[in-house]
Amino acid sequence: MLLALSLAAVFHRLAMPLRLADWLPDVVAVKCDADWPGGIGAAFGLRLRQDGQEVSGTGEVIAYEPPCSLAYRLVAGPRTHVLRLTCVNIDGATRVSVRQAGTVVPLRVDLGPLTGAV
């Protein structure tokens, strides 16, 4: 998806676990400390909607290369979701690609609410 925002602005929004629910509709809640360090290995708590029910889980940043690449591992119940995000600057806008691995049932992704969807 192409977003009418700068590469830095898009990466900043994607790299904040507290904003996961903005673009992952199956994320019900995220909990991390106010002084959350970010970067590879940073962990946080979350709740995911799975099969109509809320399931507690954990998340971890497994790749962090600002402002172009980011990956999360989200584990809730028996499911593990790995999301790899790539951001590319295209004439002042940002193209975001999301790839999911490690799960039979992928999470829904909606980047439109990040604002400025073209």
Is residue 21 a contact partner of residue 111, using CB atoms and an 8 Å limit?
no
In a domain, 113, yes or no: no
Number of domains in the chain: 1
In a domain, 112, yes or no: no
In a domain, 98, yes or no: yes
pLDDT in tens, 9-47: 999 999 999 999 999 999 999 998 767 778 899 999 999
- State which residues form the domain around 62: 2-105
Cis peptide before 67 (omega within 30 of 0): yes
Q: In what order do the strands lie in the sheet with 2-3?
A: 2-3, 93-101, 79-90, 69-76, 53-65, 43-50, 27-31
Tell whether the model's pLDDT for residue 54 goes beyond 60. yes
In a domain, 85, yes or no: yes
In a domain, 110, yes or no: no
The percentage of residues in the chain with a pLDDT greater than 70, rounded to a whole number, is 95
Is residue 70 a contact partner of residue 62, using CB atoms and an 8 Å limit?
no
In a domain, 71, yes or no: yes
In a domain, 115, yes or no: no
User: pTM to 2 decimals?
Assistant: 0.91
Reading the block at residue 72, the tokens are: 């999360």
CATH code for position 46: 3.30.530.20
